[in-house]
Amino acid sequence: MLTGIHFLLTYACNFECDHCFLYCGPKAKGTFTLSQIRNVLGELTCIGTIKQVCFEGGEPFLYYPLMREGIKIAHDMGFKTAIETNSYWATSDEDAELWLRPLQEVGLSILEISDDSFHHEEEDNPAKRALAAAKRLDITVSSICINKPTEEIDKQRVKGEPIYVGEPKLRGRGIEKLINGLPRKSWEEFTECPLEDLKDPERIHLDSYGNVHLCQGLSMGNMWETPLSELIEDYSAETHPICGALVKGGPALLAKEYNVQHEDKYVDACHFCSMICLALIERFPQYLTPRQVYGLE
Ligand code: SF4
Ligand code: SF4
């Protein structure tokens, strides 16, 4: 059951992390208008099952007034609210509180902070300052820590061949930057989507172009063309041209169904899936979108 809505407030970010599955960075453009946020939040009441609204990006603090107003409206409507951030703004203990207090005052429930070696050095770490400031302000806070991908010999495996062990979802820039040297497996082994419940999603991500993401760059439809509540009501993975195959047989079936030429081996299911989606992007532009999350202009 769908309980969480995540606003990708912008694809712009002051960072350009190697593992970013949305290809966010300083050159990315665009955000929601306040009236679009109101419109989406209004739709949530028609959906009826939504409990939590999260603002993320990109880096949502780059659009601070809009994010704050979004939190306020969502909170006043009775939703639990959350923000995900790289905490670049926590330049001192005092400043961290300066940025957080106005959010706490309008009802921010949860702050999720990226705190790992992709984002920050150990020394002089703004994530640690943001975490401490949130605790002082009684905001529920948690850290998101993503490890760098590694190769590991799994002793349980019959042949003991190297397997990929790592947390970044290999989609977006992660494929360009992180896969070199990682062990690969035959494409035929990737017969399921390991990370998303495409049949019955618990959360979806919305961008300012109207895309309703089931996974990064895999859209249910466009909410500026069809009201969000209607899109969700009518969604069925079976009839979705990409999700149908992914649910039945993972990226391996998706490649077979559309006869996509591909390599023999991939690091994991998401790596394979991403390459097949990229190959199909011109054929299904309304479902494999926006192009920017595939690293295209
Ligand atoms: S992973 Fe987060 S902090 Fe890094 S570029 Fe992407 S949105 Fe920005
Ligand atoms: S297999 Fe595809 S749809 Fe599933 S999580 Fe990976 S990239 Fe997303």
Supply the DSSP symbol for 148: P
- CA of 57, closest atom in ligand 1: 7
pLDDT number for residue 164: 67
Q: Ligand 1 — pocket residues by CB below 6 A?
A: 13, 15-17, 20, 24-25, 57-59, 86, 114, 119
Residue 65 has pLDDT above 90, yes or no: yes
Q: Which residues pair with 142 in a beta bridge?
A: 112
pLDDT number for residue 165: 61
pLDDT number for residue 160: 55
Distance of alpha carbon 270 from alpha carbon 276, whole angstroms: 10
User: Of 96, 31, 26, which Cα lies nearest the Cα of 60?
Assistant: 31
DSSP string, 42-54: HHHHHH----EEE
* Pocket probe mutation, ligand 1, options 6, 10, 21, 24, max atoms within 8 Å of Cβ: 24
Residue 155 has pLDDT above 70, yes or no: no
Nearest CA to ligand 1 atom 4: 17
With a pLDDT cut of 90, the percent of the chain lying above it is 84
Q: Do residues 87 and 41 touch, judged by C-beta distance below 8 A? A: no
- CA of 14, closest atom in ligand 1: 8
Ligand 2 centre to CA of 20 (Å) is: 15
pLDDT number for residue 120: 72
Distance of alpha carbon 149 from alpha carbon 168, whole angstroms: 7
Q: Is 242 in the pocket of ligand 2 (CB under 6 A)?
A: no
Residue 124's pLDDT band (boundaries 50, 70, 90)? confident
Q: Do residues 270 and 168 touch, judged by C-beta distance below 8 A? A: no
* Pocket probe mutation, ligand 2, options 205, 274, 276, 281, max atoms within 8 Å of Cβ: 274
- CA of 86, closest atom in ligand 1: 3
Ligand 1 centre to CA of 8 (Å) is: 12
Ligand 1 centre to CA of 144 (Å) is: 12
Give the closest ligand to the alpha carbon of residue 193: 2
For residue 221 the two structure tokens come to: 């439809």
Q: Do residues 72 and 257 touch, judged by C-beta distance below 8 A? A: no
User: Of 57, 76, 66, 65, which Cα lies nearest the Cα of 6?
Assistant: 57
pLDDT number for residue 159: 53
* DSSP reduced 3-state for 142: strand
Summarize the confidence of residues 182-187 as an average pLDDT.
94
Summarize the confidence of residues 251-280 as an average pLDDT.
97
Ligand 2 centre to CA of 105 (Å) is: 37
Amino acid present at 11: Y
For residue 25 the two structure tokens come to: 């960075």
Distance of alpha carbon 56 from alpha carbon 265, whole angstroms: 33
User: Of 77, 39, 21, 100, which Cα lies nearest the Cα of 277?
Assistant: 21
Q: What global pTM score does this model have?
A: 0.94
Residue 118's pLDDT band (boundaries 50, 70, 90)? confident
210: phi > 0 → left, psi -120 to 50 → alpha, else beta; which?
Answer: left
For residue 209 the two structure tokens come to: 């172009």
- Average pLDDT of every residue of the chain: 93
Instruction: Indicate the range of 139-143, 217-221, 235-239 predicted with least confidence.
Output: 139-143
pLDDT number for residue 94: 98
Cα torsion through 211, 36, 6, 112, rounded to 10: 140
- CA of 25, closest atom in ligand 1: 5
